Chains A and B, each alone.
Chain A
Amino acid sequence: MKDIAIRLNGQVRRLAVNPNETLLEVLRGKLGIKTPKEGCGRGDCGACTVLLNGKAVRSCLILAVEADGQSVTTLEGVGRAGPTALQKAFIRSNAFQCGFCTPGVVLAASALLAEKPAPTELDVREALAGNLCRCTGYEAMVKTVMAAARKSNRKRSSSRRSRP
């Protein structure tokens, strides 16, 4: 067993893990974090997406020991202070059905918007290309991410204009 410390959703969590446990297994089985899902278990579906030091990654392809000393954000951490503008947009436009892929999709889109606040539709499609959804056909998701980006950019630019 190895002792590790992960900054999980802003809080340092210390625990012992076996080197052959994946980050996904440890999050779900030992840390009570249930939004990352195991879909394919081999990096193809994106249901296990988490943010590692702010970047979208596949938690099924990362050993928990590798996350020692790193910062991990899951959907539990994203909505802590109430739903984000992106989450509200997903709710408003009902851009999901069964919900299995939604945590991964929202995290992948959040990482994109953090890096590129005014993405093109192609950017959004590329950012979500690794998150498989068997319900929606993706169109609603792409439109929702674009709408959320436009809305926060309008807000940002109007607050900039109102500054003296």
Chain B
Amino acid sequence: MSISCEFDYAKPDTLRDALGLLARHAPHGAVPLAGGTDLVAWLRDGAVSPGFLVDIKELAELRGIRRKAGHLWLGANTTFAEIMASPLVRRHAPILAEAAGMVASVGVRNRATIGGNICSAVPCCDSGPALLVYDAVIHVATLGGARRIPIRKWFLNPRQTALTQGALVTGISLPVAKHAGAFAKLKRYRGEDLAQASVAVRVDARGDWRVAYGSVAPTPIRGPKVERLLRGDLKPSSARRKEAAAVAETEVAPITDIRGSQIYRRLMVGVMLRRAVHLAAARRAGRGPAYGTNILEEDAP
């Protein structure tokens, strides 16, 4: 099946030109195009019908992975394959690297970008929970200047973000701090699938826990109740983990759809949270399987 809507296309050389094109063609419905793995599928479905595509994927301003001033900076055009392979990300944001390895398939990860992922903002967005536990900051450029938006204020609704018309995400920064964590993604089968539910957890040396969920609410969300319950506990006991799992089930709001029922998702969030907390605590203590191990396939406690 072909794409039925007609649009014009341009590939500007600079961020300024890209913003100019988005502004000039705003009346025709101008949309930025990065990896295209969501956008081209949506064009084909007729879910979107822009009159103008601005191809931003080679803008130098949106590329690169750098460590600077206590932060790790990822250009918006960084692909998930690049995130997985980056020693800087693996070292300073291993939960994000772990999540990147669970995005779709190699062929998609070679194209799909992290900037595109958070702008598509589907509820099952794989980078969302990891970015939430890192308290990431989204860097946005407009013709009027640059803005920073905390990730907690980014996701508004399914496919709706705090990004205003004509603005572009240039990058994402994550504070660098010693920590451990885990990301778990539940799928209907091995291999590629959208998440039925996902859980990210992060713990630092003081026992400050951060928890986030994907696919179980209209947007990726933080889990403040579980975070409060675990606070200060560097080695949550089996009983505490079970308690946390029960609390996790109360702070998500999944729906029933083709990928799973509401009750299944809710109960599995508990299981995943329990295992992810156990794994994160073990990794913090220098034990536990390497990042990238799928804990849902192991005989985890």
Contacts and interface: CB of A to CB of B under 8 A. Distances in A.
B9 interface: yes
Interface in A109-150: 111-112, 126-127, 129-131
B104 interface: yes
Contacts of A127: 106
Contacts of A55: 81, 110
A41 B110 contact: no
B17 interface: no
Contacts of B106: 56, 108, 111-112, 126-127, 129-130
Contact of B105 (A2, A62, A65, A129): A129
A61 B37 contact: yes
* Interface footprint category on A: 20 to 34
B191 interface: yes
B13 interface: no
B112 to A, nearest CB: 9
A62 B108 contact: no
Contacts, number: 91
Interface string B30-42: 0001001100110
A122 to B, nearest CB: 10
Interface in B1-46: 1-9, 11, 33, 36-37, 40-41, 43-45
Nearest to B36: A61
Given A42-B44, A58-B37, A61-B37, A130 B2 contact: no
B149 to A, nearest CB: 28
B135 to A, nearest CB: 30
Contacts of A46: 105, 107
A56 B6 CA distance: 28
Contacts of B81: 55
15 contacts: A2-B9, A20-B2, A20-B5, A20-B7, A41-B44, A43-B107, A46-B105, A56-B110, A61-B40, A62-B40, A63-B53, A126-B106, A129-B105, A130-B191, A130-B192
Interface of A: 2, 18-22, 25, 41-44, 46, 49, 52, 55-58, 60-63, 65-66, 68, 108, 111-112, 126-127, 129-131
